[in-house]
Structure 1
């Protein structure tokens, strides 16, 4: 499919170098709700203790007035992120390095910077990739460095067109089933202040964006996998990367899988007998393996 949308790459690339700084506090209330939403094992952490991995996806999120949201529920384009003239926006993947624990009760600062923008054409039309780097700090301590890959695409994509049956993803050495429900998606959207309608408005997700049901957040899948890796090893990973590969939907059973691969663990999500939905790797800097 060839898109008829005109994309001025030189104009969009003028956003490279743009920065945004936001501040937040890691509250006990957030940690408690994060723990309950993900159904993490054991009691929720207390003030002064480390928070669960990837809780920073919930911190220092832009607070745009409701009247300034676009039809899809995202903030209107052209602020910190470039105004890419394509209707669908997705978090395609990311790469996270953990330098120190995020402690419950501390104040944090997130410094974000647009570092790259590129375009390509594929089976589903135009694709524009925007790369953002985030630094999460507390005082003089660097806590997290993150690369976030965002993809913008045409309205009609590979998810809406008939697809060949992909090979089943298979089951890992370690695996866990998670029941995906609309309340889980709603709670995670609330924790991350994510108003993208594909996660809570089924009529919009099906009728406008062409999915078969509510879509499971990529960051939610990444968070489930990252916390699975921490449980397997008995300690949080120091490096975690992930990539979205195919959508999964509300009322699916989502299987979290993990298999050892040398000094790292390879992880993935899938629905029963389905293809890989998200792939990931986790590494530990102090491993002697």
Structure 2
């Protein structure tokens, strides 16, 4: 297992400040597919219509040739993101500030910048955290800002003792989600995400050692954001989320929500009797 002393931290930190820029049109067909994936009526989007929030995760994604993908299905490391030599790469969390709306027909511009990189020893071994800031623009106006936290870690040791987190609480509001293989595949396709843990059962079980397909962090975050919008009657202006434990396609999971302090809404996902998988907070 790679330890902190084996990581060239100073070299990895030279990636701080690197930028990546992408542009893509907000196409009506993409909006239809996004709505259908989340069980909304696709409708017939027209230019100028407000696009669904968090659709930006489906736009201007890196498009590298298939031969340039790493063994996990992600683009090979060492381009925009640093080449962290730890096998598991996961979206640990993020936070948004919404300023304006993306609209059908806009050309979205994404400016991404590596903001920070740090390494620490956790209970399961070495963890490397990379912070990326994304600014989403359209028509010369800022639509939203996003801080993305990515964590790299080693594979679990088979004989290592595992601390079992407590079961999640029940929220005042609850909605069950069935993580079907088509749902996970559709979301991977929408976001041009080749990470094999979301669709390749032999790989995820035999190589990464998980019990089933992994439910995307951004998929859960989008479901929680949409649930907050429904419960609050309007889209939250600020939203943050944090992944705490993985969810798999082996059982349904539940979106939970409860009132938080100062008019916020606390949200989380969990399977029945399982720990919190993702926690989130919505602010209006």
Measured against aligned partners, the alpha-carbon deviations of 1:17-60 in whole angstroms (never above 9, x if no partner) come to 000110001111111111111113x5646222212221111111
Instruction: Tell me the distance in 2 between the aligned counterparts of 1:135 and 1:3.
Output: 33
What TM-score does the superposition give when structure 2 sets the normalisation length? Answer: 0.95
Q: Which residue of 1 aligns with 2:272?
A: 272
TM-fit CA distance, 1:156: 2.1
Matching of residues 1-289 of structure 1 within 5 Å: 3=3, 6-40=6-40, 44=43, 46-47=45-46, 48-156=48-156, 163-261=162-260, 262-284=262-284
Instruction: Tell me the distance in 1 between the aligned counterparts of 2:124 and 2:197.
Output: 19
| 1:224 aligned counterpart, secondary structure | helix
Instruction: Tell me the distance in 2 between the aligned counterparts of 1:123 and 1:276.
Output: 18
Instruction: Tell me the distance in 2 between the aligned counterparts of 1:196 and 1:275.
Output: 24
What TM-score does the superposition give when structure 1 sets the normalisation length? Answer: 0.93
Instruction: Tell me the distance in 2 between the aligned counterparts of 1:2 and 1:149.
Output: 21
Q: Which residue of 2 aligns with 1:287?
A: none
How many equivalent residue pairs? Answer: 282
Instruction: Tell me the distance in 1 between the aligned counterparts of 2:80 and 2:246.
Output: 27
Instruction: Tell me the distance in 1 between the aligned counterparts of 2:43 and 2:5.
Output: 48
Instruction: Tell me the distance in 1 between the aligned counterparts of 2:214 and 2:11.
Output: 31
Q: Is the 8 A contact 2:4 2:120 kept in 1?
A: no
RMSD between aligned residues: 1.7
| 1:101 aligned counterpart, secondary structure | coil
- From the superposition, tell whether residues 45 and 231 of structure 1 become closer, same or farther in structure 2 (CA, over 3 Å): farther
Farther-moved stretch of structure 1 (258-267 vs 193-202): 258-267
Instruction: Tell me the distance in 2 between the aligned counterparts of 1:91 and 1:7.
Output: 20
Instruction: Tell me the distance in 2 between the aligned counterparts of 1:211 and 1:5.
Output: 27
Farther-moved stretch of structure 1 (48-57 vs 107-116): 48-57
- From the superposition, tell whether residues 157 and 147 of structure 1 become closer, same or farther in structure 2 (CA, over 3 Å): farther
Unaligned runs of 5+ in 2: none
Instruction: Tell me the distance in 2 between the aligned counterparts of 1:50 and 1:74.
Output: 31
- From the superposition, tell whether residues 45 and 218 of structure 1 become closer, same or farther in structure 2 (CA, over 3 Å): farther
Measured against aligned partners, the alpha-carbon deviations of 1:126-179 in whole angstroms (never above 9, x if no partner) come to 110000000000121100100000000112269x95634432212212111111
